[in-house]
Chains A and B, each alone.
Chain A
Amino acid sequence: MQLTVWTYEGPPHVGAMRVATGMEGLHYVLHAPQGDTYADLLFTMIERRNQRPPVTYTTFAARDLGKDTAELFKTAARGAYERFKPQAMIVGASCTGSLIQDDPGGLAKALSLPVPVVTVDLPAYQRKENWGAAETFYQLTRALAGPNAPPPGSQRPARPAGQRPTCNLLGPTALGFRHRDDVREITMLLNQLGIDVNVTAPMGATPADLARLGDADFNVVMYPEIASLAASWLARMFHQPFTKVVPIGVSATREFIKEVAALAGVDPEPVLKSASSRLTWYSHSVDSTYLTNKRVFIFGDATHVVAAARIASQEIGFKVVGLGTYSREFGREIREAAKLYDVEPLITDDYLEVEAKVAELHPELVLGTQMERHIAKRLGVPCAVISAPVHVQDFPARYAPQMGFEGANVIFDTWVHPLMMGLEEHLLQMFRDDFEFKDGAMPSHLGHAPAVEVTAPAVAPDVAIAEVTTTTVTTETTTTTVVWAADAEKELRKIPFFVRGKARRNTERYASEIGVATITVETLYDAKAHFSR
Chain B
Amino acid sequence: MTVQLQGCAAPAAQDLAAPAVRHERGQHEVFCGLTGIVWLHRKIQDAFFLVVGSRTCAHLIQSAAGVMIFAEPRFGTAIMEEKDLAGLTDANDELDRIVTQLIARRPDIKLLFLVGSCPSEVIKLDLSRAALRLSKRFMPQVRVLSYTGSGLETTFTQGEDACLASLVPELPASTSTETSLLVVGSLADVVEDQFIRIFDALGIKSVQFLPPRNSASLPSVGPNTKFLLAQPFLADTARELENRGATRLSAPFPLGVEGTTAWLRAAADAFGVDAALFDKVTQPARSRAERALENFRQDLAGRRIFFFPDSQLEIPLARFLSRELSMQLVEVGTPYLHREHLAEELKLLPAGVAITEGQDVDLQLDRCRAARPDLAVCGLGLANPLEAEGMTTKWAIELVFTPIQGYDQASDLAELFARPLVRRAKLVA
Contacts and interface: CB of A to CB of B under 8 A. Distances in A.
A330 interface: no
Interface stretch (B81-89, B190-198, B244-252, B279-287): B81-89
Contacts of B339: none
Nearest to A126: B82
Interface string B365-386: 0000000000000011111110
Interface stretch (A47-55, A220-228, A287-295): A47-55
A49 B384 contact: yes
B340 interface: no
B60 A50 contact: no
B173 interface: no
Contacts of A44: 380-385
B55 A95 contact: yes
B98 A3 contact: yes
A61 interface: yes
A95 to B, nearest CB: 4
Given A33-B150, A62-B152, A128 B55 contact: yes
Nearest to A49: B384
A458 interface: yes
Contacts of A61: 28, 151-153
A357 B101 CA distance: 20
Interface stretch (A35-43, A149-157, A242-250, A516-524): A35-43
Contact of B123 (A40, A99, A123, A462): A99
Interface stretch (B63-71, B226-234, B257-265, B266-274): B63-71
B54 interface: yes
A14 B105 CA distance: 31
A441 B91 CA distance: 48
Contacts of A95: 54-56, 118-119
Contacts of B77: 3-5, 7
Interface stretch (B30-38, B203-211, B311-319): B30-38
Given A33-B152, A34-B155, A38-B63, A52 B80 contact: no
Contacts of A38: 31-32, 35, 60, 63-64, 381
B59 A7 contact: yes
Contact of A35 (B60, B84, B95): B60
A397 B384 CA distance: 16
B30 A96 contact: no
Contacts of A112: none
A128 B32 CA distance: 21
Contact of A34 (B32, B94, B95, B121): B32
Contact of A459 (B35, B72, B382): B72
B354 interface: no
B109 to A, nearest CB: 13
Contacts of A460: 105
Nearest to B94: A1
A124 B82 CA distance: 9
Nearest to B150: A33
Nearest to B2: A75
B102 interface: yes
Given A2-B81, A37-B28, A11 B56 contact: yes
A377 B70 contact: yes
Contacts of A130: none
A34 B151 contact: yes
Interface residues of B, number: 65
Contacts, number: 185
Nearest to A94: B56
A57 interface: yes
A461 interface: yes
A75 B1 contact: yes
Interface in A30-82: 33-42, 44-45, 48-52, 56-62, 65, 75-76, 79
Nearest to A37: B29
A6 B381 contact: no
A58 B27 contact: yes
Contacts of B54: 11, 95-96, 124-125
Contacts of B58: 4, 7
A34 B152 contact: yes
B27 A126 contact: no
Contact of B101 (A3, A10, A34): A3
Nearest to B55: A11
A90 B343 CA distance: 45
B362 interface: yes
B350 interface: no
A37 B29 CA distance: 6
A99 B119 contact: yes
A58 B152 CA distance: 12
Given A41-B381, A96-B122, A11 B59 contact: yes
B62 interface: yes
A79 B360 CA distance: 11
A10 B381 contact: no
A36 B94 contact: no
B362 A79 contact: yes
Contacts of B16: none
A450 to B, nearest CB: 20
A57 B27 contact: yes
Nearest to B66: A391
B73 interface: yes
A36 to B, nearest CB: 7
A377 B71 CA distance: 10
A125 B82 contact: yes
Contacts of B122: 65, 96, 99-100
Nearest to B384: A44
A377 B118 CA distance: 34
Interface string B10-31: 0000000000000000111111
A111 B234 CA distance: 42
A58 B97 CA distance: 35
A99 B66 CA distance: 28
Contacts of A373: 70
B79 interface: yes
Interface in A370-397: 373-374, 377, 391
Nearest to B122: A99
Interface of A: 1-7, 9-11, 13-14, 33-42, 44-45, 48-52, 56-62, 65, 75-76, 79, 83, 94-96, 99-100, 123-126, 128, 373-374, 377, 391, 458-462
29 contacts: A1-B52, A1-B94, A2-B81, A7-B77, A13-B56, A33-B150, A35-B151, A35-B155, A37-B27, A37-B28, A38-B32, A38-B60, A40-B380, A40-B381, A41-B63, A44-B385, A51-B388, A52-B382, A59-B26, A62-B121, A83-B362, A95-B54, A96-B122, A99-B85, A99-B123, A128-B55, A374-B70, A391-B66, A461-B105
Interface of B: 1, 26-35, 52, 54-56, 58-60, 62-64, 66-67, 69-70, 72-73, 75-82, 84-85, 91, 94-95, 97-98, 101-102, 105, 118-119, 121-123, 150-153, 155, 362, 379-385, 387-388
